Structure 1
Amino acid sequence: MSRVSVGTKRLLLGRPFRSDTSGDSPLRKRIALPVFASDALSSVAYAPEEIFLILSLAGMSALVFTPWVGLAVAGVMVVVIACYRQNVRAYPSGDGDYEVATVNLGPNAGLGVGAALLIDYVLTVAVSISAAAANIGSAIPFVYSNEVVFAVIAIVLLTAINLRGIRESRAMFAIPVYAFMAAMTALVVWGLFQVDVLDRDLRAESADFELVTPDGVAVAGLALAFVVAKSFASGCAALTGVEAIHNGVPAFRSPRARNAATTLVMLGVVSISFLLGLIVLANKLGVQIAEDPAAQLIGAPEDYHQKTMIAQLADPVFAGLPVAFYVIMTITTLILVLAANTAFNGFPVLASVLARDKYLPRQLATRGDRLAFSNGIVLLAIAAIVLVVAFDAQVTVLIQLYIVGVFVAFTLSQLGMVRHWTRRLETEEAPAVRRRVQRARAVNAVGFVLTSGVLVIVMSTKFFAGAYIAVLAMLAVFGVMKLIKRHYESVARELEDSSWEVVLPSRTHCVVLVSKLHLPTLRALAYARATRPDTIEALTVNIETAETRVLVREWERRRISVPLKVVESPYREINRPVVDYVKRLRDQSPRDVVIVYIPEYVVGHWWEQLLHNQSALRLKTRLLYERGVMVTSVPWQLSSSDGRAEQARDEPIIGRWGAPEDR
């Protein structure tokens, strides 16, 4: 790598870290909550809005179901948190649902969880950043007009930050999360206080519009039930991120499992309070969110820009303090960006675990200069940008794909925990312990039934709306990981074949490739002779007869002792004549080893690589497929490379070894 490249890398990523500096200090609960809960907390910025939006498909009368849908989502969250309190105690290693499913249900189930979570992490970035763009766009019209650009830039910045490795105290992450909690508390409490205690007539900007169905036809019966179920499925996006605390158990202070379980309860209380509080306040202020505002909101201006629910609530609640509106929208945007950042922590770690188990390329298990899993970070960023651009940064569309993966993981994890407790009961004899295990199994059994039921609702209501894309992606990732695992196992069996006997070659035959007689050729000749082979010869391909004659004459004039062989190439190819010649050597003496020396230039600039070495690279690649043939590259550092000064000291030696008869 050139000095310019190294300098640029250091400027962007910083200096490398030693491997022994990778440890993080254990976290207290008050710090662990914001560090691991930003994803789950941020979902209240869009989950209530999605409930209102889906119910709008059935008209204004359907909004009466919003509190009940919110309560149903809250009920599911209570059960899931109770289940994950069991998970963190039984499996505190940090491998999360992947470990639970693999240990109790087998590798295929674990792989299914891994595939689901990988897709879920990608969607977490896409949804969170798109929601951040929508929220800041509600305050800044310029961003609203360029949401995709804003989202892509935000992902690129997050990628750069994570590639540098976030070494600062994790307490820094607590500030924006607690600021968001304070902002949401102020919004809900002050809004309800004004409406219920001060009896003020607060109205959202959309409250005076008439909400109709997209086609103007009333929705009732089974169609209404379907819309309500779909709104419940969208609202369950509020559960995303709950599993992050299970994955982060090793980061807690001792007793780790108990502290993680307590943090889960804290997360549940805060998330449910915000979810229900925002829904109640939105109903009191008459907030209306439409999938197609132009068609569904009668009375709205032609240039009406539908703002997010948070924006529609903050504007009237803090009408007397306009700066508070911008503060809340900024904090909401920041918490959504932090939620995306949790995926930049979770995806590379999960990918490294899967790579460790040989389900993904091993490069994903390697840490970069800054001790971050750089390859996983870049892969996540590329996938998220593709989704954001493909779906135009529309949160509603991305939500259709989002929660499939997380509920697949929830369901398999709870089934695995039921199996875990059942196995414990088979060996446990103490009555008190058995009762405790039976209670734990009952909790996880309820969790399995509930999460699988939600998964069925999600699939039945969202499959053709976009969930099928997530399903196909998970199946594709699952299949690719199975193939990678099979490949690694096949290679391992091949390399560990105990029946293979090491037989030394009878003789060593060296072939030095020559294009012209210059210093790189002389160095290759010197190095080949230094290995003391049984036979050695130089080989050139006759492409241009005149040039070949000049080379032969110069070779003879300098009386180089290594014989020069000329092979014909009537079709002006280089690779085929050389490969055919080497094959003939092997056919004549199958037990001999042939070593081919190829002079190569070492360049200092990327563009120089395009001008040199192309023939050598192609020939080397072709020769690597020949059995009994070794390929040795002999480097020659050009003046643009860093090694030129050291090479200058070797040139006299090259001259003496390459043409001893000239002395």
Structure 2
Amino acid sequence: MVSALKRFLIGRPLKSTELGEQKLTKKKALAILSSDALSSVAYGPEQILIVLFTVGTAAFWYSVPIAIGVLVLLIALILSYRQIIFAYPRGGGAYVVSKNNLGMNSGLIAGGSLLVDYILTVAVSVSAGTDALTSAFPALHVHAVAIAVFFVLLITVLNLRGIRESATILAYPVYLFVAALFILIGAGLYNVFTGQVPAELHAAVGTPVAGISLFILLKAFASGCSALTGVEAISNAIPNFKEPAPNNAAKTLMAMGSLLAILFSGIVFLAFYYGIAPNAQETVVSQMAEGIFGRNFIYYFIQGTTALILILAANTGYSAFPLLAVNLAKDKFIPRMFTIRGDRLGFSNGILILGFLSILLIVAFKGKTERLIPLYAIGVFIPFTLAQTGMIVKWFREKPKGWMPKLIINSLGALISFVVVMMFLLTKFTQVWPILIFLPLIILLFHRIHKHYMDVAEQLRVSAAEPTVPIKGNIIIIPVASITRVVENALNYAKSLSANQIIAVSVCFDKEEEKKLEEKWEKWNPDVRLVTLNSLHRSIVHPLTKFIDMIEHKATDQNYQIMVLIPEFIPKKGWHHILHNQSSLLIRTHLLYRRNVCVATIPYHLQK
């Protein structure tokens, strides 16, 4: 039944030879890898207005020069990541660039930041999408967290079905969203240029504003930079592209940058011109669409596609997180399970972990987008800064032909990204301080995992200088409770191993019970020694362990191997397990960590 449900949700297993068919075309890649960046125009401009609103609506004209600053940074980042794509065509993005040029710790800071960022990508995107949905249908506000969790589960299942299939499904909402915003911006600009928008709705550019300060402007700029999250995703996911992967990735990146610049500029300009103020119950895009079209079909089309892309923007995290995890796992900084492909050739462990952690975040923050965005944005700009700095070091070290313009681009990107990080720390410290705790802890965890893998490799390495001492033979210990076919099956198997000695051990709670078992055993199987242990405290594991300790001490001196064979019957139906005690499981779990004891289970399958 479980297998049938899995096949229904995920689909048939794919052969390894079908991996090439799972690669993405430019159109599908633009949809699946750019959805995070494109969707951020639905809340990036709003974050600027939220900061300026603390001074008053007259300050909204500052959103225009702030938006120009954000566009300058966008251009620098797009050109920089285009260079990274060709310099590191195997993917890995900021992690690989930082590791190769700035050292392992810098790479781990970038990698750790991005792992957290992709978790936040899912949480923020789905929360923002839920906000858009509840703006159109206010009655759903009380169910926001449950709705967000449902969407995370849905996107997780889609990605488990494979990247090509999820891209095919998700491409339509992304392109519908782009079309919807072009309609919104086009209609809004038409109204502006035909004089249908009253001038009194907004303050003129350059109007003096009481209370405005450099601190507030920097805070607004840092908030607006949240619209650039997701720009790096394409450079992390180059292996997902059809060949020639670097060329296709670079073209997709340029297309994404162009669309992002147009949509972001249009939303900021119209929000200023229409004098739209941020509202906790309704998003800026919703107010803008209602102001231009009213609550008609086009309004609901815009809100519907906005909600869809905000929710599906989480897919960028699902595309990039597993590939980044693979790079970290190959370098032995996170568990090796992240390198394993699932039935549909995707890195399913990474997908499942991402979905689980995102749900935890949504529940912990109660789906409040504005509380997640600052952490989300600074988690992006730390890798941005490290990646650009790493490229500067690369150009200085290698000095390839035409390296000077590339150096200038990366230097500009590094400088602005660093300034944004500092702005977040200075202006939003109360919201972003957790990253100063979590990031060092993540790096420490990376190093502990890496040390474990190195220790394991050292201990498993075969060395001619340390010849192994041959084992003379086995002493087999079989825990028994009574005389049954299960015990008989285990004894027969033990005899087939040519053991030097077989000892059956029974832990009894009652002297009379102990005596009866000894008498029955003597008649049933006198060739095998039975040792009975009395347990006054009704413990099976403790007396058995003490006996094994005694035998092990003698066996080690003579270079014999102790083997514990645990008889266990297996019920025909899985639920029958709960009807029986789990003595064999307790014994096995306790003995698995014994250094010189081999533990094996001898199953006896019941027929009914």
- Check whether TM > 0.5: yes
Change in CA separation of 1:628 and 1:278 when aligned onto 2, cut-off 3 Å: closer
Equivalent residues, number: 599
Query: How far off is 1:16 after superposition?
Result: 2.2
Cα deviations by residue, 1:278-324 (Å, 9 ceiling, x for unpaired): 1111122220115xx6xxxxxxxxxxxx31111101112113x7111
TM-score by length of 1: 0.86
Asked if structure 2 preserves the Cα contact closer than 8 Å seen for 1:592 and 1:628, the reply is no
Asked if structure 1 preserves the Cα contact closer than 8 Å seen for 2:236 and 2:323, the reply is no
Change in CA separation of 1:443 and 1:535 when aligned onto 2, cut-off 3 Å: same
The match for 2:467 is 501
Asked if structure 1 preserves the Cα contact closer than 8 Å seen for 2:129 and 2:308, the reply is yes
Change in CA separation of 1:509 and 1:37 when aligned onto 2, cut-off 3 Å: same
Q: Report the Cα distance in structure 2 between the residues aligned to 1:31 and 1:628, rounded to whole angstroms.
A: 55
Q: Which runs of 5+ in 1 are unaligned?
A: 209-217, 294-305, 641-663
Q: Report the Cα distance in structure 2 between the residues aligned to 1:149 and 1:70, rounded to whole angstroms.
A: 34
Query: How far off is 1:545 after superposition?
Result: 2.3
In the alignment, does 2:605 pair up with 1:637?
yes
Change in CA separation of 1:527 and 1:258 when aligned onto 2, cut-off 3 Å: closer
Cα deviations by residue, 1:433-484 (Å, 9 ceiling, x for unpaired): 2xx11221121112111111111111111121x2112332222222111110
Letter paired with 1:579? T
Change in CA separation of 1:365 and 1:559 when aligned onto 2, cut-off 3 Å: closer
Cα deviations by residue, 1:242-262 (Å, 9 ceiling, x for unpaired): 111212334445554344333
In the alignment, does 2:161 pair up with 1:164?
yes
The match for 2:440 is 475
In the alignment, does 2:288 pair up with 1:313?
yes
Query: How far off is 1:550 after superposition?
Result: 2.6
Query: How far off is 1:144 after superposition?
Result: 2.5
The match for 1:489 is 454
Please state whether the residue corresponding to 1:146 is helix, strand or coil.
Answer: helix
Asked if structure 1 preserves the Cα contact closer than 8 Å seen for 2:84 and 2:235, the reply is yes
The match for 2:411 is 445
Q: Report the Cα distance in structure 2 between the residues aligned to 1:409 and 1:542, rounded to whole angstroms.
A: 63
Change in CA separation of 1:611 and 1:365 when aligned onto 2, cut-off 3 Å: farther
The match for 1:146 is 143
Q: Report the Cα distance in structure 2 between the residues aligned to 1:16 and 1:516, rounded to whole angstroms.
A: 45
Query: How far off is 1:219 after superposition?
Result: 6.2
Q: Report the Cα distance in structure 2 between the residues aligned to 1:28 and 1:565, rounded to whole angstroms.
A: 69
Asked if structure 1 preserves the Cα contact closer than 8 Å seen for 2:159 and 2:166, the reply is no
Asked if structure 1 preserves the Cα contact closer than 8 Å seen for 2:33 and 2:319, the reply is no
Please state whether the residue corresponding to 1:57 is helix, strand or coil.
Answer: coil
Query: How far off is 1:605 after superposition?
Result: 4.8
The match for 2:196 is 200
Asked if structure 1 preserves the Cα contact closer than 8 Å seen for 2:508 and 2:535, the reply is yes
- Computing the radius of gyration from Cα coordinates, the structure with the larger value is 1
In the alignment, does 2:211 pair up with 1:220?
yes
Asked if structure 1 preserves the Cα contact closer than 8 Å seen for 2:26 and 2:248, the reply is yes
Change in CA separation of 1:32 and 1:512 when aligned onto 2, cut-off 3 Å: closer
Change in CA separation of 1:370 and 1:330 when aligned onto 2, cut-off 3 Å: same
Query: How far off is 1:360 after superposition?
Result: 0.8
Q: Report the Cα distance in structure 2 between the residues aligned to 1:251 and 1:588, rounded to whole angstroms.
A: 58
TM-score by length of 2: 0.93
Cα deviations by residue, 1:5-49 (Å, 9 ceiling, x for unpaired): 333333333332222222236555444333321111110011011
In the alignment, does 2:408 pair up with 1:408?
no
Query: How far off is 1:133 after superposition?
Result: 0.6
Cα deviations by residue, 1:327-355 (Å, 9 ceiling, x for unpaired): 11111111112210111121122112211
Letter paired with 2:68? L
Asked if structure 1 preserves the Cα contact closer than 8 Å seen for 2:39 and 2:310, the reply is yes
The match for 1:265 is 254
Q: Report the Cα distance in structure 1 between the residues aligned to 2:233 and 2:221, rounded to whole angstroms.
A: 22
Change in CA separation of 1:32 and 1:361 when aligned onto 2, cut-off 3 Å: closer
Change in CA separation of 1:166 and 1:250 when aligned onto 2, cut-off 3 Å: closer
Change in CA separation of 1:371 and 1:324 when aligned onto 2, cut-off 3 Å: same
Please state whether the residue corresponding to 2:337 is helix, strand or coil.
Answer: helix
The 5 Å alignment of 1:566-645 reads 566-589=532-555, 590=557, 591-612=559-580, 614-639=582-607
Change in CA separation of 1:604 and 1:59 when aligned onto 2, cut-off 3 Å: farther
Change in CA separation of 1:30 and 1:351 when aligned onto 2, cut-off 3 Å: closer
Q: Report the Cα distance in structure 1 between the residues aligned to 2:525 and 2:268, rounded to whole angstroms.
A: 93
Letter paired with 1:537? I
Q: Report the Cα distance in structure 2 between the residues aligned to 1:246 and 1:103, rounded to whole angstroms.
A: 15
Q: Report the Cα distance in structure 2 between the residues aligned to 1:532 and 1:600, rounded to whole angstroms.
A: 21
Change in CA separation of 1:496 and 1:318 when aligned onto 2, cut-off 3 Å: same
In the alignment, does 2:452 pair up with 1:463?
no
Asked if structure 1 preserves the Cα contact closer than 8 Å seen for 2:571 and 2:605, the reply is yes
Change in CA separation of 1:153 and 1:574 when aligned onto 2, cut-off 3 Å: same
The match for 2:206 is none
Cα deviations by residue, 1:111-169 (Å, 9 ceiling, x for unpaired): 11110000100111111111101111111122233211111111111122222334438
Q: Report the Cα distance in structure 1 between the residues aligned to 2:583 and 2:152, rounded to whole angstroms.
A: 40
2:331 aligned residue (338, 357, 363): 357
Asked if structure 1 preserves the Cα contact closer than 8 Å seen for 2:42 and 2:285, the reply is yes
Please state whether the residue corresponding to 1:630 is helix, strand or coil.
Answer: strand
Q: Report the Cα distance in structure 1 between the residues aligned to 2:240 and 2:356, rounded to whole angstroms.
A: 28
Asked if structure 1 preserves the Cα contact closer than 8 Å seen for 2:130 and 2:148, the reply is yes
In the alignment, does 2:524 pair up with 1:558?
yes
Query: How far off is 1:202 after superposition?
Result: 6.9
Please state whether the residue corresponding to 2:178 is helix, strand or coil.
Answer: helix
Q: Which runs of 5+ in 2 are unaligned?
A: 203-208
Letter paired with 1:351? A
Please state whether the residue corresponding to 2:562 is helix, strand or coil.
Answer: strand
Please state whether the residue corresponding to 2:54 is helix, strand or coil.
Answer: helix
Cα deviations by residue, 1:185-210 (Å, 9 ceiling, x for unpaired): 1101111212321x224799xx79xx
Change in CA separation of 1:625 and 1:32 when aligned onto 2, cut-off 3 Å: closer
Change in CA separation of 1:11 and 1:34 when aligned onto 2, cut-off 3 Å: closer
1:189 aligned residue (182, 186, 191): 186
Change in CA separation of 1:613 and 1:528 when aligned onto 2, cut-off 3 Å: farther
Farther off after superposition, 23-32 or 259-268:
23-32
Q: Report the Cα distance in structure 2 between the residues aligned to 1:145 and 1:284, rounded to whole angstroms.
A: 33
Farther off after superposition, 496-505 or 341-350:
496-505
Asked if structure 2 preserves the Cα contact closer than 8 Å seen for 1:122 and 1:384, the reply is yes
Query: How far off is 1:86 after superposition?
Result: 1.4
Q: Report the Cα distance in structure 1 between the residues aligned to 2:168 and 2:499, rounded to whole angstroms.
A: 64
Please state whether the residue corresponding to 2:299 is helix, strand or coil.
Answer: helix
Q: Report the Cα distance in structure 2 between the residues aligned to 1:48 and 1:87, rounded to whole angstroms.
A: 28
In the alignment, does 2:103 pair up with 1:112?
no
Asked if structure 2 preserves the Cα contact closer than 8 Å seen for 1:202 and 1:316, the reply is no
Change in CA separation of 1:16 and 1:146 when aligned onto 2, cut-off 3 Å: same
Q: Report the Cα distance in structure 2 between the residues aligned to 1:227 and 1:603, rounded to whole angstroms.
A: 69
Asked if structure 1 preserves the Cα contact closer than 8 Å seen for 2:490 and 2:566, the reply is yes
Asked if structure 2 preserves the Cα contact closer than 8 Å seen for 1:26 and 1:252, the reply is yes
The 5 Å alignment of 1:88-99 reads 88-99=85-96
Q: Report the Cα distance in structure 2 between the residues aligned to 1:617 and 1:169, rounded to whole angstroms.
A: 41
Q: Report the Cα distance in structure 2 between the residues aligned to 1:541 and 1:624, rounded to whole angstroms.
A: 19
Please state whether the residue corresponding to 1:157 is helix, strand or coil.
Answer: helix
Change in CA separation of 1:161 and 1:260 when aligned onto 2, cut-off 3 Å: closer
RMSD, matched Cα = 2.3
Asked if structure 1 preserves the Cα contact closer than 8 Å seen for 2:185 and 2:270, the reply is yes
Asked if structure 2 preserves the Cα contact closer than 8 Å seen for 1:31 and 1:171, the reply is yes
Farther off after superposition, 29-38 or 386-395:
29-38
The match for 2:304 is 330
Q: Report the Cα distance in structure 2 between the residues aligned to 1:627 and 1:25, rounded to whole angstroms.
A: 45
The match for 2:221 is 232
Query: How far off is 1:398 after superposition?
Result: 1.0
1:23 aligned residue (20, 38, 44): 20
1:418 aligned residue (349, 370, 392): 392
Letter paired with 2:158? I
The match for 1:276 is 265
Percent identity at matched positions? 37
Q: Report the Cα distance in structure 1 between the residues aligned to 2:261 and 2:356, rounded to whole angstroms.
A: 33
Letter paired with 1:419? V
Letter paired with 1:355? A
